[in-house]
Amino acid sequence: MILHGYWRSGTTYRTRIALALKGLSYEQVGHDLRTGEQRSAAFLTLNPQGLVPALETDDGVLTQSPAILEWLEERYPEPPLLPAAPGDRAIVRAMAATIACDIHPLNNMRVLKAVRALGGDADAWAAGWIGDGFAALEAMIARHGAGFAFGDRPTLADCHLVPQVYSAERFGVDLAPYPQLMAATERARALPAVQAAHPDEQPDADR
């Protein structure tokens, strides 16, 4: 497999975590979003949307990180990143979607550029949406977590949560109101696979 991404991209980060938790080997190709490399003709042949990540697989080129993570779970079911019970799986997917649908899209690079172009405070914008989502996740983790975001082992929820906390820290968000969320994050961050997926450990990271 070949993962096309950007070292600091939250969506690429969550994909790296899932790949690492499943013990899968892959190559990486970096595309610097700051210089617009994701809009090159070569990359647009892989992903016409011009976004990262894109994962080259035997099943073709996959895009959109939630779809990639679901494919990984179906194609490589061990170790599982979803619980066995259908209701529990729905809860994990809801936690992941809280980040993938309601938090991350509102603080990614292209949205923040648009906020700045309109004269807005991009950092305050991002922090506000992160705070709203984290408040909901705090309650969900308090209800369903047992060391990790859901239960006692990492799931797709943790794959999404760790990169979003990384982003929150970059924006200077006060994380003190979310003790359950941060405890789950730190538990996940302690895993060697998650440590290997950290942006600073990637070959295209700023040095």
CATH number at residue 128: 1.20.1050.10
**pLDDT over threshold 90, residue 109:** no
Give the number of domains in the chain.
2
Whether residues 47 and 94 share a domain: the answer is no
Task: Place 11 in a pLDDT band, splitting at 50, 70 and 90.
Answer: very high
Q: Could you give the residue ranges of the DSSP H alpha helices within the chain?
A: 10-21, 41-46, 65-75, 86-102, 109-117, 122-144, 156-170, 179-189, 192-196
Structural domain includes residue 159: yes
Give me the mean pLDDT over the 188-201 stretch: 98
**pLDDT over threshold 90, residue 111:** yes
Whether residues 96 and 12 share a domain: the answer is no
Structural domain includes residue 201: no
Question: How far apart are the C-alpha atoms of 18 and 52, rounded to whole Å?
Answer: 15
Whether residues 189 and 120 share a domain: the answer is yes
Question: How far apart are the C-alpha atoms of 195 and 43, rounded to whole Å?
Answer: 28
Structural domain includes residue 45: yes
Q: What is the pLDDT of residue 49?
A: 95
8 A C-beta contact, residue 147 and residue 73: no
Mean pLDDT computed over every residue of the chain: 96
8 A C-beta contact, residue 122 and residue 116: yes
Q: Is the peptide bond before 53 cis (omega within 30 degrees of 0)?
A: yes
Of 54, 7, 20, 17, which is closest to residue 157 (Cα–Cα)? Answer: 17
Domain boundary among 24, 47, 78: 78
Question: How far apart are the C-alpha atoms of 56 and 28, rounded to whole Å?
Answer: 10
Whether residues 94 and 183 share a domain: the answer is yes
Q: What percent of the chain has pLDDT over 70?
A: 100
**pLDDT over threshold 90, residue 193:** yes
Whether residues 62 and 11 share a domain: the answer is yes
**pLDDT over threshold 90, residue 58:** yes
Structural domain includes residue 126: yes
Domain boundary among 14, 48, 78: 78
Write out the residue range of the structural domain in which residue 185 sits.
86-193
